[in-house]
Amino acid sequence: MLALLAVLLMFGVSFALLSRVIGITSPWLVLLLMFYFLGLVKIAEPLFRLRMPRVLRPLRPWELAGLVYHRYRVPEFGRVLRKTPLRYLNNAVYIDATRRDPFKVRIWAEASEAAHFWAAVLLLPYIVFAVLNGMWKVVAWLSLAQLLVNIYPLLHLRYARGRLDRTLRRNQVTHAGGARAKSGA
């Protein structure tokens, strides 16, 4: 809790100082606010986890099939994340030697998915503002940031969650079959 408050204070002071230098309506400040939000959510993870809106939480059949994700190269985006230092921005969503429990990884993936969703929601009003004011360069840059920082990670996390769900179901069937075999059923 103390770390969260310290970071919140630091972000608040930084935001106030930067708003004086670059102006409160600067698109850079809005982009920074989105990154601050993601950082605060990450630091607050031990205390609470964000959730997706109930209607968006379940995976749809087309998501489980993965065809749309493959068409838009979401698995390739995931490989870029896994094979570069970007992995360390949120390594809790990977199964490796220290994290072998797919259920726990799935929980963290879902929380990360929600963080990117809410960060996208946070940035969207300013993009709409920029569109309404004909600030096309700002729209282009913020849309690119939205795509790379929120949308693709969100899609990748949903794709990974579908894969984790299949793994968990397969493990349940395997464990249930093993338990029946041991009991002599």
pLDDT tens by residue, 112-153: 999 999 999 999 999 999 999 999 999 999 999 999 999 999
What rounded mean pLDDT belongs to the chain?
Answer: 86
Q: What 3-state DSSP class applies to 45?
A: coil
Three-state SS across 93-125?
Answer: HCCCCCCCCHHHHHHHHHHHHHHHHHHHHHHHH
Q: Which residues of 87-98 are buried (b: 16+ CB within 10 A; e: fewer)?
A: eeebeebbeeee
Choice between 169 and 157, residue whose per-residue pLDDT is larger: 157
Going by pLDDT thresholds of 50, 70 and 90, the confidence category of residue 174 is low
Is residue 123 within 8 Å of 30, Cβ to Cβ?
Answer: yes
Alpha carbon distance 41, 163 (integer Å): 24
- The neighbour count for residue 138, using CB atoms within 10 Å, is 20
Q: What's the predicted TM-score (pTM) here?
A: 0.82
* d(C-alpha 4, C-alpha 149), whole Å: 22
What type of residue is 63? Answer: E
pLDDT above 90 covers what percent of the chain?
45
CA distance 32 to 35: 5
Interatomic CA distance for residues 157 and 149, integer angstroms: 12
pLDDT of residue 182: 55
